[in-house]
């Protein structure tokens, strides 16, 4: 465990790291979006599409996925050069990604709480709340969904550069192409069977806690995929 924590600490040494990234990007994105919403309200206009949640989440999760990809491209070779085994290297990354995801989720929940207290700083329009995902656990339930989503996408972000190192550009694109084909064939199969209605019903039936469970399962599957790749990638 000591070695796993040491391997995780490696990714937290620079000031701009996978945890401080959330703390920097979320307030900046939030203030920008709040400024846009306030300006539109002054002009008696509304955000296109009605909802205000896309921008902040996109910025935070996007930044974290890029940071995860950078960890795969540079952090993994650095960790291996420090004589960490591959399993300790991956465990360290999972630990630090989990901490980062939970930080993002907790920050989202805390900011939603602040919005509720201040009526979103007088604008009356939340930048983060997603009502469908705030049942049954409120802002903290949504925070869990964000944490699980972030973790799942970060594990995806980690996989891409490691696949590149393992397979090279052409074979990596073939792998992603095959994954896209599987998804398309699956979608076509559902269309052919007239099953989209059942799919949408299933989606609507989910709540924050079940989404958290599914996304956590997805993150675990991606962790397994990352293990299959990292155990065979060249160290340098």
| Binding residues among 33-72 for other proteins as defined by CB under 8 A | 70-71
- How far is C-alpha 168 from the chain's CA centre? 25
Residue 81 in the binding site for other proteins (CB under 8 A): yes
Which residue lies nearer to other proteins by CB, 81 or 191? 81
Q: Is the CB of 75 or the CB of 105 nearer to other proteins?
A: 75
Residue from the set 54, 183, 188, 232 that interacts with other proteins by CB under 8 A? 232
Distance (Å, rounded) from C-alpha 87 to C-alpha 142? 31
**Phi, psi dihedral angles at 105 (to 5 degrees):** -60, -45
Q: How far apart are CA 154 and CA 79, in angstroms?
A: 18
Q: Does 74 bind other proteins (CB under 8 A)?
A: yes
Q: By CB under 8 A, is residue 88 in contact with other proteins?
A: yes
> Could you give phi then psi for residue 192, rounded to 5 degrees?
-60, -35
Stretch that binds other proteins, among 52-60, 82-90, 133-141, 202-210 (CB under 8 A): 82-90
Q: Does 1 bind other proteins (CB under 8 A)?
A: no
Sign of the CA dihedral with 130 first, then 62, 163, and 9 last: negative
Q: Which of 39, 45, 54, 85 binds other proteins (CB under 8 A)?
A: 85
How far apart are CB 53 and other proteins at their closest, in Å? 30
Q: Which stretch binds other proteins (CB under 8 A): 3-11, 97-105, 151-159, 176-184?
A: 3-11
Residues numbered 12 to 31 that lie near other proteins (CB under 8 A) are: 13-14, 16
Can you list the alpha helix ranges (DSSP code H) found in the chain? Answer: 2-10, 20-42, 54-70, 76-81, 86-118, 138-192, 196-205, 208-230
Residue 77 in contact with other proteins, rule: CB under 8 A: yes
Beta carbon of residue 79, minimum distance to other proteins (angstroms, whole number): 8
Three-state DSSP state, 103: helix
State yes or no: cis peptide before 79, omega within 30 of 0.
no
Cα 157 to Cα 73, 106, 164, 206: the distances in Å are 10, 21, 12, 26
What is the contact surface with other proteins in residues (CB under 8 A)?
Answer: 3, 6-7, 9-11, 13-14, 16, 70-71, 73-75, 77-78, 80-88, 231-232, 234-236
């Amino acid at each position: 465990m000591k070695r796993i924590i040491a391997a995780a600490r490696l990714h937290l040494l620079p000031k701009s790291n996978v945890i401080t990234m959330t703390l920097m990007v979320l307030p900046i994105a939030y203030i920008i979006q709040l400024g846009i919403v306030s300006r539109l309200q002054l002009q008696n206009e509304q955000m296109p599409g009605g909802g205000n949640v896309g921008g902040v989440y996109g910025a935070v999760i996007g930044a974290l996925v890029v940071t995860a990809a950078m960890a795969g491209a540079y952090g993994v070779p650095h960790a291996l050069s420090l004589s960490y085994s591959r399993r300790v290297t991956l465990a360290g990354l999972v630990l630090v990604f989990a901490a980062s995801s939970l930080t993002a989720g907790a920050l989202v929940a805390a900011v939603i709480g602040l919005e509720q207290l201040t009526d979103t700083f007088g604008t009356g329009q939340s930048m983060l709340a997603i009502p469908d995902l705030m049942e049954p656990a409120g802002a903290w339930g949504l925070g869990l969904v964000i944490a699980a989503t972030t973790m799942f996408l970060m594990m995806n972000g980690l996989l891409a550069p490691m696949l590149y190192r393992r397979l090279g550009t052409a074979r990596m694109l073939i792998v992603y192409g095959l994954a896209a084909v599987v998804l398309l064939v699956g979608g076509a199969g559902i269309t052919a069977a007239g099953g989209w209605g059942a799919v949408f019903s299933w989606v609507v039936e989910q709540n924050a806690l079940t989404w958290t469970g599914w996304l956590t399962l997805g993150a675990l599957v991606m962790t397994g995929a990352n293990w299959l790749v990292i155990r065979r990638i060249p160290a340098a």
